[in-house]
Chains A and B, each alone.
Chain A
Amino acid sequence: MPHLVLDKVSIHYDGQPAPAVERVSIDVAKGDFVVLVGRSGCGKTSLLNVAAGLVTPSRGQASINGRGITGPGSDRAVVFQNDALFPWLTARENVAFALRLRGVRPAERARRADELLALVKLGDAGDKHIWELSGGMRQRVGLARALAAEPQFLLLDEPLGALDALTRERMQTTLLDLWTASHVGVLMVTHGIEEALVLATRIVVLAPGPGRVVRGFEPGFSRRYAAGEPVRSIKSDPAFAAARGELTDAIFEGEAA
C-alpha cells in the first residue's frame, strides 16, 4: 500500500530565529485526501514542500513507501497555486510534458493527454495556448499535467486559491472526481474552511509559532460525494454547518481575540 509519511518533521530555515515547523507527523495513504489548514505562518506550505522534496527537513524523516525523500520525483506530482504551466506549449503539450520527458512517442502522448484533458472537462481545449485560458481552465490543465505523470500522490498547494468563488466551487467537484477516478492519495494545503470539509477524508489543523498539529478531523463528506451525493445537498446538511463551526473554532483556538 503506497504511503507518504512525514515523521516528526521540523523545519528551521537558515537565518530564521525560530523553526517554521516543529515535530509534525502526517501520514497519507493511497486513497486518502488529507487537507492541511491553519492560520498564516503555520508552515502548511513548508510541509507540503518537504513531501514534494523541494525542502529538506532539519529534523525528522519524510518517506514514500518506506524510502526516504531526497528530492522531487514523479511519484508525487505537485500543483501550485500559481499554475506554473509552460506558456510556450499548448494545453495538450503541457499535459503531455511528463510523458515527453520519459520519451513516450508523440502520437501516444497526444492520445493520453487528450484523455486527461477530457477528464478535467477540457476536451476541446488541447490546441489552445495557455494565455487563452481562464484561471480555472489553467488550473485544470495543471491538474491534468500532474496526473499524466501517473503519480501515487498529488500534492496541491492552494490550487484553488487564485480562483473566483464560483469557479472554486466547481473546481472542488472536479478535484473530487479526479480523486475518485485516479485512486491517488492527496495532500492539499488550503485556506478555505468549507473547501477542506468538502474535500478531505482527514483534516489536519496546524497552529503557528512554531507550526505544529493541534487537531485532526475526519469529516467524511467527501466519501458521501464519492458515494453519489451531490455537493449542494452535502453542504446544506446541518452536520456540515456544525463541522464548519467546530473546524473554525479549532483553527482560531488560542488566537488573541
Chain B
Amino acid sequence: MTISSYSERPAARTETADGLSVPWSRPSARRKGVSARMVSAVTILLLLAAWALSARLQLVSPVFLPSPVAVWNKFIVVIKDGFVDATLLQHVVASLGRVFAALVAAILVGVPVGLAIGISTVGRGIFDPLLEFLRPIPPLAYLPLVIIWFGIGEPSKILVIAIAMLAPVALSTASGVRGVSRERVNAARSLGATRAQVVRHVVLPSALPSILTGLRIALGAGWSTLVAAELVAATRGLGFMIQSAAQFLVTDVVIMGILVIAAIAFVLEFAIRRIERALVPWAGRE
C-alpha cells in the first residue's frame, strides 16, 4: 500500500517543492513503478477476456453464461424497452428510493440510540443487548416475520433494509460519542455550557466523523439486503428484476443486474466519501 501510493506521486512535486535532492526524496520506483490501480485494471480486463473467450468457444452454454457483448446489448435494451414492465431506470429508482427511505429511518432511530448508548449507562444497558441481538441475524431470517406483522407492502421492504442499517448507524454513533475528548467537554462546561448544550455543540460534532463512517457502512449493508427486501410482492426494483429474470433463466439480465447493483454501490461509496470530506474536513487533521 505504502509503496504503491508513493510511486503514484509525481516525482517533480517533491523535488521542486522543497528543492531537496537527497536520495530518499526521489521516488525511485517511479520509472518502472507498478501501481495497484494498474494491476486491478489488468486483472479486470483479463477476467473480461476469459469470460468473452469461454462464451465465444461455447465452453458453457450461452443460457448459463452469455457473452459480455450479449450482456451489454441487453443492458441497452433494458434501458430502452425495460424488463418486466419497467425500464432499468425505473427499477433503479425504485431500489434507491427504498434504500434511502430506510437510511433516513435508520438515522432517525440509530443516531439517538447511539447517543443514548454513548452518554448514559441506562441507555447502554437498554440498547446494547438489543443491537447485539439484531446485528447478526440475516435479513432473510426476519423477512417472514416482518411480512407477517407489516404485510407485503412498501413499508415492509423499507423496514427490512432499515433493520440491517440500524446497528451500524447506532454503534458508530456510540463509538464516536465515547471517543469525545474529555478536555473539550470540560472546556465547554467551563464556558458555561449546560449538559444539553454540551451534547448539541460538542458531543454531536465530535462524533460526526464516526457517524458518517456508520452511514457508509449502513448504506453498504442496506444495499446488500436489497434482493431480500424485494423478494416478496415487488413489481419494481433491481432485486425484483434479477429474481424475475432468474425464474425465466434470462441469465444476461441476471448478470447485468448484478453489475448494475455493484456499480451503484461503488458510486454511493464514492459519493459518501466526498460528503465526508466536505462535512468533516478536520477529521484526521488534529
Contacts and interface: CB of A to CB of B under 8 A. Distances in A.
Given A80-B183, A84-B183, A74 B190 contact: yes
Interface stretch (B40-48, B102-110, B162-170, B197-205): B197-205
B191 A82 contact: no
Contacts of A87: 282, 285-286
Contacts of A97: 188, 191, 201
Interface residues of A, number: 30
Given A80-B186, A82-B183, A88 B191 contact: no
Interface in A113-131: 129-131
B74 to A, nearest CB: 48
User: Interface residues of B toward A: which range?
Assistant: 20 to 34
Interface of B is mostly: helix
Contact of A80 (B187, B192, B202): B187
B73 interface: no
Contact of B186 (A52, A85, A130): A52
Interface in A78-132: 78, 80, 82, 84-88, 97-98, 100-102, 129-131
Given A73-B190, A84-B187, A149-B192, A101 B282 contact: no
A131 B286 contact: yes
Contacts, number: 71
B282 A88 contact: yes
B129 interface: no
30 contacts: A52-B186, A53-B190, A54-B190, A72-B190, A73-B190, A74-B192, A76-B190, A78-B187, A78-B190, A84-B181, A84-B186, A86-B184, A86-B201, A86-B202, A87-B282, A87-B286, A88-B208, A97-B188, A97-B191, A100-B201, A101-B192, A130-B282, A130-B286, A131-B282, A145-B187, A145-B191, A146-B190, A146-B191, A149-B190, A155-B190
Interface of B: 181, 183-184, 186-193, 197, 201-202, 205-206, 208, 280-282, 285-286
